[in-house]
């Protein structure tokens, strides 16, 4: 999932133990999600209740430091690249964070980081109203000093989850193994350690996307533009920005080196624990509860086992649609995997929508044979998803002349199978969905409001269907 474009949201509930003084006080909840919807916040446990709450939007950043220190004294530290000597002098910031960093020293006014020399600005104090992490501030008046447990609950944008399925077809072509990951994504810059995870499958009635009402904090960048000439251009890119040298490669941690040297002697011990998400009902929706606590990392994704089923009866069906508008070139059919979502078949679980990767179980290495996407399926439904098209099974349509009265049109369909084994095919006779049908040379049924030709095509062979049709209003 693209962490910059997550369409879901989360309900975040956290518990904190705080000490509240007697009388008026401001309680700051630091480290809330940057995608927090402030108007959704509910706080329980404050002895004096809530008088007012504010979302502190200014985040600590290079640009915010400059803007917050405008007109104030700072310290400049410069390093002579030739001698390595370090000098410091007092300066006053005279410009904002956009375009240039202008300071005034005893020597006069100058623009920093435009000389090509290593320069650092040291701030004496942190400007007021700046925070390293997003903060929700709450004003309260407590009747007495107390240490209490407070619960904060709010909605936050920048989260989403998917179900990702891995299917391994059986060697007999009549069964499959189904495994599913619950993939959770956090696009926020905040981590949530040791969290209880629950995800909801279904469609909620959302009147306004959370991204539109989330009050994200602002981290003001620092834009510096210079016009260097001659030797001062060294260390600058084409736009005049200071370029930092690439960092040295990280040395492997001692623990990692020890593990690499002892890969043949790894021993894992410990008690087994349940690792598969547990299904619960939530009204008309389905809730999956992860049975252990886990950390949801900032700007990261994690995966938890959702389900695992073996030897589920399944079948491959080749699907196509007959256009029937005269002569047509042969077209490849879609490959569809089908299975019954019933307890008797080894499933019998609500299946949330998600991506699917299908592997051939007959191959030694389980080679990928197709990918697809599956919609939501309830218990008892026939599950089906398309994994690709087959160039070996193709359909051609031909319009024939019918010498009869009454507006009847004649068609012939030709289905070829170049596989070394028989295939089952279903062809939607789309042009006769609302029409009469007669003189069919093969088996046709009504399915999903359409006439459907069901046929088993022998290996390396061809099957044909002829029929006549006319609109019902004639």
What's the CA gap between 36 and 158, in Å, rounded?
Answer: 9
Indicate whether 244 pLDDT > 60: no
Mean pLDDT of 392-412: 81
pLDDT tens per residue, range 4-55: 888 889 999 999 998 999 999 988 888 889 888 988 999 999 998 888 888 7
What's the CA gap between 375 and 368, in Å, rounded?
Answer: 21
pLDDT tens per residue, range 349-397: 889 989 999 998 766 667 898 999 999 888 899 999 999 999 999 998 8
Indicate whether 398 pLDDT > 70: yes
* Beta-bridge partners for 368: 359
**Among the CATH numbers 3.30.428.10, 2.60.120.10, 2.60.40.1170, 2.40.50.140, which is that of 316-338+382-471?**
2.60.40.1170
pLDDT averaged over every residue in the chain: 81
Q: Are 163 and 285 in contact (CB under 8 A)?
A: no
DSSP letter string, 80-144: -TTT--EEEEEEEE-S-SSS--EEEETTEEEETT-SSS-EEEEESSPPTT-BSS-EEEEEEEESS
Q: Apex CA 116: angle with CA 115 and CA 122, to 5°?
A: 80
Phi and psi at residue 331, to the nearest 5°? -120, 140
Q: Which of 122-126, 197-201, 313-317, 465-469 has the lowest mean pLDDT?
A: 122-126
Residues of the chain with CATH 2.60.40.1170: 316-338+382-471
Report yes or no on whether pTM surpasses 0.75. Answer: no
Indicate whether 150 pLDDT > 70: yes
Phi and psi at residue 349, to the nearest 5°? -130, 145
């Amino acid at each position: 999932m693209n962490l910059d474009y997550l369409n879901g949201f989360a309900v975040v509930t956290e518990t904190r133990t705080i000490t509240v003084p007697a009388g008026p006080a401001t309680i700051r909840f630091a480290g809330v999600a940057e995608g927090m919807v402030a108007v959704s916040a509910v706080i329980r446990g404050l002895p004096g209740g809530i008088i007012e709450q504010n979302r502190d939007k200014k985040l600590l950043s290079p640009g915010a430091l400059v803007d917050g220190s405008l007109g104030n004294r700072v310290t400049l530290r410069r390093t002579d690249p030739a001698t390595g000597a370090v000098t410091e002098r007092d300066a006053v910031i005279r410009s904002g964070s956009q375009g240039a960093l202008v300071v005034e020293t005893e020597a006069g006014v100058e623009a920093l980081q435009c000389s090509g020399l290593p320069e650092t600005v040291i701030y004496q104090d942190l400007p007021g109203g700046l925070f390293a992490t997003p903060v929700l501030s709450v004003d309260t008046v407590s009747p007495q000093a107390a240490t209490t447990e407070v619960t904060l609950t709010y909605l936050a944008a920048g989260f989403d989850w998917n179900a990702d399925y891995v299917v391994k077809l059986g060697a007999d072509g009549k069964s499959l193994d189904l495994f599913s990951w619950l993939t959770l994504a956090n696009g926020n810059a905040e981590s949530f350690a040791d969290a209880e995870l629950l995800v909801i499958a279904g469609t909620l009635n959302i009147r306004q996307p959370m991204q539109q009402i989330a009050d994200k904090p602002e981290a003001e960048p620092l834009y510096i533009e210079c016009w260097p000439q001659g030797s001062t251009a060294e260390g600058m890119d084409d736009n005049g920005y200071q370029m930092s040298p690439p960092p040295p490669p990280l040395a492997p941690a001692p623990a990692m080196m020890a593990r690499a040297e002892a890969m043949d002697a790894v021993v894992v011990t410990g008690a087994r624990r349940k690792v598969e998400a547990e299904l619960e009902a939530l009204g008309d929706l389905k809730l999956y509860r992860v049975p252990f606590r886990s950390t949801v990392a900032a700007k990261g994704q994690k995966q938890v086992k959702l389900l695992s089923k073996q030897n589920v009866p399944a079948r491959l069906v080749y699907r196509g649609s007959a256009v029937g508008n005269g002569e047509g070139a042969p077209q490849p059919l879609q490959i569809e995997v089908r299975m019954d979502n019933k307890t008797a078949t080894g499933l019998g679980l609500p299946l949330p929508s998600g991506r699917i990767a299908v592997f051939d179980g007959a191959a030694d290495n389980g080679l990928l044979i197709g990918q697809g996407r599956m919609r939501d399926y309830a218990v008892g439904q026939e599950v089906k998803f398309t994994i690709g098209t087959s160039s070996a099974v193709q359909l051609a349509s031909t319009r024939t002349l019918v010498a009869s009265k009454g507006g009847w049109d004649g068609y012939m369909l030709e289905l070829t199978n170049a596989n070394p084994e028989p295939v089952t095919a279903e062809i939607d006779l789309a042009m006769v969905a609302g029409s009469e049908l007669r003189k069919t040379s093969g088996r046709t049924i009504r399915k999903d409001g359409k006439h459907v030709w069901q046929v088993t095509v022998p290996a390396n062979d061809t099957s044909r269907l002829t029929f006549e049709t006319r609109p019902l209003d004639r």
